[in-house]
Amino acid sequence: MLRIACPWCGARDETEFGYGGEAHVALPADAAQLSDAAWAEYLFMRSNPKGRHRERWVHTHGCRRWFNVVRDTTTERIFAVYLAGSPPAQLPDEPA
């Protein structure tokens, strides 16, 4: 069971959180202008990587805040936790 460090409340069990999928998939500003294909890309297509994943979580049964997590999808190791709305967290060993 994951232990996730809510940026506000600190480390809590996975059961208190909700998972929100891939992070940094922003709502296109001009949705109405997009082609069907581009809209489908936003709506459905996900990178679903094997390895490091930037993803959204919400502390449902705690402070109710959304935040982002960098987790390795092969080991479940969590590398970083950062606030919603901030740019993708860069890890020291990653090319920018």
Partner 1 sequence: MSQPKRTDAGGRIDRLRVLRFQFDGRRYQGYCGDTLASALLANDVHLTARSFKYHRPRGILALGAEEPNALVQLEQGAYTEPNVRATQIELYDGLIAHSQNRWPALGFDLGALNDTFSPLLPAGFYYKTFMWPASMWLRYEKAIRRMAGLGRAPCLPDPDRYDRMHAHCDVLVVGAGPAGLSAALSAARSGARVILADEQTEAGGQLLWERYDIDGHPAMAWVASVMAELAAAPEVRILARTLVSGYYDHNFVVACQRFDSPRSSAHAPRQRLWKIRAREVVLATGAVERALVFPDNDRPGIMLAGAVRGYLNRFGVTAGSRVVIATVGDDGYRTALDLASAGVAIAAVLDLRVRAAGFLPQQARARGIEVLTGQRIVATGGRMRVSAVRVQPFAGGTIREIACDLVAMSGGWIPTVHLFSQARGRLRFDARAGAFVPGEAMQPVRCAGSVQAAWLLHEALAQGFAAGGAAAQACGLEPARALELPQVSEPEATAADVALAHRGERASRRKQFVDFQADVTLADVGLAAREGYDAIEHLKRYTTAGMGVDQGKMGNANVVALLADARGEAAGTIGMSTFRPPYQPVSFSAIAGMDAGELFDPVRRTPMHEWHRRHGAVFEDAGQWKRACYYPRAGETLHASVQRECLAVRRGVGMLDASTLGKIDIQGPDAAEFLERIYCNPVRSLAPGRCRYGLMLKQDGMVFDDGVIARLAETHFLLTTTTGGAARVAAWLEEWLQTEWPMLKTYCTPVTEQYAQVAVSGPHSVELLAPLCSVDIRAMPFMSVRTGYVAGIGARIFRLSFAGGLGYEIAVPADRGYELWTTLMGAGERFDIAPYGTEAMHVLRAEKGFIIVGQETDGTVSPIDLGLDRLVRSDKFFIGQRSLARPDARRADRRQLVGLLTENPHEVLAEGTQLVAAPCTLARVAAEPVPMLGYVTSSYFSPSCGRSIALALVEAGVARIGQTLHAPLATRCVKVTLTAPRFVGDSDEVLHG
Partner 2 sequence: MGDDASMRRFIGRDLVLGECPARACVELRGDPDDASFVRAVRTVTDLPLPLDPGRSAAGLLASILWLGPDRWLVCSDTQAGSDLAASLRAALAAIACAVVDVGAARIVYAVGGSNARAVLAKGCSLDLHERKFPLGHCAQTLLAKAPVLVHLSGAEPTFEIHVARSLRDYAWAWLRAAASEYAAEADDA
Partner 3 sequence: MLAIIAAPAAGSIDLNRYSIFALARNALSRHENWPRAWRSPEPRRSYDVVIVGGGGHGLATAYYLAREHGIRNVAVLERGLIGLGNSGRNTTIVRSNYLWDASAHLYEHSLRLWEQLAGTLNFNVMFSQRGVLNLAHNPHDLRELARRVNANRLNGIDSEIVSTAQVKRLAPALDCDPRARYPVLGASLQRRGGTARHDALVWGYARAADAAGVDIIQNCEVTAIRQKDRRVVGVETTRGVIDASKVGVVVAGHASVLAAMAEIRLPIESHPLQALVSEPIKPVLDTVVMSNAVHVYVSQSDKGELVVGAGIDPYTSYSQRGSFPVIEATVSALVALFPSFGRLKLMRQWAGIVDVCPDASPIISKTPVRGLYFNCGWGTGGFKATPGSGHVFAHTIARDEPHPLATPFALERFTTGALVDEHGAAAVAH
Q: Which of residues 2-41 bind partner 2 (CB under 8 A)?
A: 8-10, 12-13, 15-16
Whether the Cβ atoms of residue 70 and residue 83 lie closer than 8 Å to each other: no
Backbone angles phi, psi at 32, to 5 degrees: -60, -25
Contact indicator for 21, 43 with CB cutoff of 8 Å: no
According to CB under 5 A, which residues from 36 to 65 bind Zn ion? 59, 62-63
When asked if residue 73 is in the footprint of partner 3 (CB under 8 A), the reply is yes
Torsion sign, CA atoms 74, 4, 19, 81: negative
> Quick one: what does residue 79 bind among partner 1, Zn ion, partner 2, none, with the CB cut-off 5 to 8 Å set by partner type?
none
Binding site for partner 1 (CB under 8 A): 1-3, 13, 18, 20, 26-27, 31-32, 34, 36, 39, 43, 56, 58, 60, 64-66, 75-76, 84-85
